[in-house]
Amino acid sequence: MIDGKIEKLLNHQIELEFESSQYYLSMASWAEKNGYNGVSTFLYKHSEEERGHMLKLFHYINDRGGHALVPTIGAPPKEYKGVKEVFTKILQHERIVTSEINDLVDACLKAKDYSTHNFLQWYVSEQIEEERLAQTLLDKLDLIGDDKGGLYLFDRDLESFIPAGDGAA
Ligand code: FEO
């Protein structure tokens, strides 16, 4: 049976993953509407992955005798100034998620909940990958600067991009 405090924290993590999924879905829609087909394909996939991260938590909480709860959150922003702003916000958001995961891992150790601690290691690794990817894409955008041809190629490359090591489903 899962500790009540850990259950609450895991439900908070569900909220964050759901928020990520909705946020990236909104960005995907903005990108699609503005002609960035590759960016939108990438973000629609990313939104699905975040939903996968959320569902993993649902099953874990319920399997341990807790109750996974559907979160209520506000609507994500609809408009973005450009592709650079989108990836800047993704990196900022992922850094927040990493920090929350680290707090959660810490709470598990304090509560001597080693099962949840073990379960969360997947998220710890995933966050390293997510931050690395967002940073890499931002670095590329910095190199491209105002070059429209470069942005065209960036968008085209993202269309067929397959993220490394995402085993969530
Ligand atoms: Fe599931 Fe991007 O954190």
The CATH number assigned to the domain with range 4-159 reads 1.20.1260.10
Query: CA-CA distance, 62 to 70, in Å (whole number)?
Result: 13
21-50 residue pLDDT tens: 999 999 999 999 999 999 999 999 999 999
Residues in contact with 149: Cβ distance below 8 Å, sequence separation at least 6, in sequence order? none
Segments making up each domain of the chain, as ranges = 4-159
Plot region of 165 (φ>0 → left; ψ -120 to 50 → alpha; else → beta): left
pLDDT for position 164: 64
71-94 residue pLDDT tens: 999 999 999 999 999 999 999 999
Residues having CB within 6 Å of any atom of ligand 1 = 17, 20, 50, 53, 94, 97, 130
State which ligand 1 atom lies nearest to the alpha carbon of 50. 1
Q: What is the dihedral of CA 20, 22, 28, 31, to 10 degrees?
A: -100
Query: CA-CA distance, 17 to 52, in Å (whole number)?
Result: 9
79-137 residue pLDDT tens: 999 999 999 999 999 999 999 999 999 999 999 999 999 999 999 999 999 999 999 99
Residue type, 24: Y
Residue 159 · residue 38 · CB < 8 Å: yes
